[in-house]
Structure 1
Amino acid sequence: MRLAFIPPMKPKLVDSPPLGDGWTHEIKLDGYRTQIIIEGGEVRAYSSSGADWTKRYAGIVEAARELEVESAIIDGEAVVPDEKGRPDFHKMQRVIQKDPYAAILGAFDILHLNGHDLRDIGCKARREMLHGIVKPDTRIQFSEAIPGDAKAIFYLVEQAELEGVVSKRADSKYRSGPTTNWVKAKSFMYSDLDLIGYQRERGKAAQALFAEPGTGHYIGTAVITLGRDMRDRLWQRVQAKAGGAPPNAVMKKRHPATQWIKPGVRARVKHLRGEVILRHASVNALLDDGEEGGA
């Protein structure tokens, strides 16, 4: 029977990596979850939803053909590195449909090998088998576990401005869908930004649109998660500054429900570290005129 795509195992989001023995910790790669299927000399690549992305990952597919296996299903993350070698999600978004050789695969699990289903074997043992077939210096790289204390690992990841840490129970079996046997802790930072728009739509969470301080350069949106009093205060400031102009015609068309505001409103935003555009962002506080942040 022909090997078929297996829906991925999905880690639960937590505030910090778990402590204690029995866990392994890896750097959370910031790209697209990807599954590689090798069978009878044929290689296929799939997105996390099962879409066939073989043509988008020509470089990874060629590297997979060089692996000395008869058949395999490999789980990993396709990434495009920046000039410092760190995964750059926004660069990947820009080039993935233009350059099929831009991405590399951070391989972190193997579900099938040479006719054997490995999903009932423990995670650590599966990864040892994966490590044994991955070749160095190709577009498929093994995602190494990081030794040491979980707190220290997460601190180092934050200092390196990486997205976060994925922790896995060493004995966990591979089960498709959400799980608590794998968890992910993301690295966040706080920035004080200029509010340029406020978007409210029925049935949706309110969002704020932000620009870099003093430049007007749009850098993304953040969900409004403030308490009721602070949210009311923010809305009052928005109304008082109503009548601003969107950064450009494209923004106006893309955000038709936005109340654009004049300069003078600033907020502290929690967002993923090391990103050019805000991701997983939320408004943490409304800043008074002249107040400086430092969280």
Structure 2
Amino acid sequence: MFVSPMLLHKIDEPLDGADFITELKLDGVRLMLSKFDNKIKIYTRHNNEVTSKFPELCKLDIPDGTLLDGEVVVTDQQGKPDFEAMMERFMSSKSIHKIQYCVFDILYHEGRKVTHLPLVERKELLDILIEQSEHITKVQWMYGNGEAYFNLVKEHSLEGIVLKRADSSYQINKRSRDWLKVINSQYADAYIIGAKKDEFGLLLGIEEGEKIRPAGVMEFMNLEAKKIFYKSHQDLITGENKKFIFLDPKMKCRIKFRNYTKDDKLRIPSFVEYIS
């Protein structure tokens, strides 16, 4: 069965209050996993059934009448979540990447809805139900310590942290301030070296020595910054093809992004400000 999951609000700085619990933000794919009538079914947060993509999860030993919320991840040799490897695995069940379903909440227990229970009580249910195995584990958590944990996350170049009110209910299909995320963003200076023709997207380039290397596409930019770009870019056009126009690298901007991909591109870059 599918239930639309509870979503997180984004904040810029971590909180330290003891009325919140702190978890690692896992860099994987959000999945709802249910077992009813002794059949396991798996859905993405957008209600796409993906049971067939994860045959190893269909063998999990969980009680009938259970609905879990969690993140499926692939880890690298250092044990860190590897999003690119996870996407390779998501696209093909024949991929050699081993997955683990990291459970952080439970919505149904023994066929009964438990979303009204405080979060810490739902965590206690998970402790009873979930025994760590090759393909399933529970997300570890602690009370408070959000700032210290976030600093540790930054040291290890992990994605971020999640802060949740300890007494919060599970609010189906809602983005609630009871659940917060703090992303470990990185920053860089980049040139705008082109633009998509059919939809908004700016080609970015990073300066390396005397050259500027392509560094990906930026799709997130505020309206005022877009207006400035469209007023200025016509005089900078140097060429085009079917998909892109290419620009003389004169417009420079500060961007934030998640991390560098394996092919040295910026992952999820977004505009911060222009640099004169």
Q: Tell me the TM-score normalised to structure 2 length.
A: 0.84
- Contact 1:157–1:164 (8 Å) recurs in 2: yes
Name the structure 1 match of 2:158.
162
Cα pair 2:201 2:217 within 8 Å, conserved: no
1:162–1:274 Cα contact (<8 Å) kept: no
CA distance in 1, matches of 2:147, 2:39: 42
Q: Report matched runs for 1:145-160 at 5 Å.
A: 145-160=141-156
Residue 243 of structure 1 and its aligned partner are, at CA, apart by 1.0
Tell me, what secondary structure is at the counterpart of 1:119? Answer: coil
Instruction: Determine the C-alpha separation between the residues in 2 that align with 1:74 and 1:161.
Output: 28
Pick closer, same or farther for the CA change 1:10–1:233 going to 2, 3 Å. closer
Structure 1: unaligned runs, 5 residues or longer:
246-251, 289-295
Q: List aligned pairs for 1:1-295, cutoff 5 A.
A: 4-62=1-59, 64=60, 66-67=61-62, 69-99=63-93, 102-177=98-173, 178-199=175-196, 207-213=201-207, 214=211, 216-225=213-222, 232=228, 236=232, 238-244=233-239, 252-253=241-242, 256=243, 258-263=244-249, 265-273=251-259, 275=261, 277-288=265-276
Secondary structure of residue in 2 paired with 1:60: helix
Shift of residue 128 of structure 1?
1.5
* Contact 1:96-1:103 within 8 A present in 2 as well: no
Q: 2:114 and 2:79 mapped to 1: Cα distance?
A: 31
Displacement after TM superposition at 1:32 (Å): 1.6
Structure 1 SS opposite 2:101 = strand
Unaligned runs of 5+ in 2: none
Instruction: Give the superposition deviation at 1:219.
Output: 2.2
Shift of 1:133: 1.9
Counterpart contact for 2:260–2:266, Cα < 8 Å: no
SS of residue matched to 1:217: strand
What value does the CA root-mean-square deviation take over the aligned residues? 2.7
Q: 1:25 Cα shift? A: 1.0
Deviation, structure 1 residue 16: 2.3
For 2:190 and 2:89, the matched residues in 1 are separated by 28
**1:119-170 Cα deviation digits (max 9, x unpaired):** 1111111011112222223211111014552111112112221221111111
- SS state of the match for residue 278, structure 1? coil
> 2-side partners of 1:49 and 1:226: how far apart?
27
- SS of aligned partner of 2:228: helix
Cα drift, residue 244 of structure 1: 4.2
- Residues in 1 aligned to 2:19 and 2:114: alpha-carbon distance in whole angstroms: 20
Distance 1:153 1:235, change over 3 A: farther
Cα distance change, pair 130–235 in 1 and its aligned pair in 2 (3 A): same
1:168–1:74 distance in 2 versus 1, CA, 3 Å = same
Residues 198-225 of structure 1, C-alpha deviations (whole Å, 9 max, x = no match): 3577xx8x54211343353342324333
Write the distance in 1 (CA, Å) between the matches of 2:254 and 2:230.
Answer: 12
Query: In structure 1, how many angstroms separate the alpha carbons of the residues matched to 2:170 and 2:39?
Result: 24
Which structure has more strand as a fraction of its residues? 2
- Check conservation: 1:119, 1:173, Cα contact below 8 A: yes
Q: Structure 1 residues 148 and 9 mapped into 2: Cα distance closer, same or farther (>3 Å)? A: closer
Structure 2: distance between partners of 1:155 and 1:232: 36
Shift of 1:46: 0.9
Displacement of 1:196 in angstroms is 1.7
C-alpha distance in structure 1 between counterparts of 2:84 and 2:3, whole Å: 27
Change (3 A) 1:90 1:130: same
Paired residue secondary structure (1:121):
coil
Provide TM-score, normalisation by structure 1: 0.79
Fraction of identical pairs, as percent: 25
Distance, in Å, in 2 between the alignment partners of 1:83 and 1:219 is 26
Count matched residues: 268
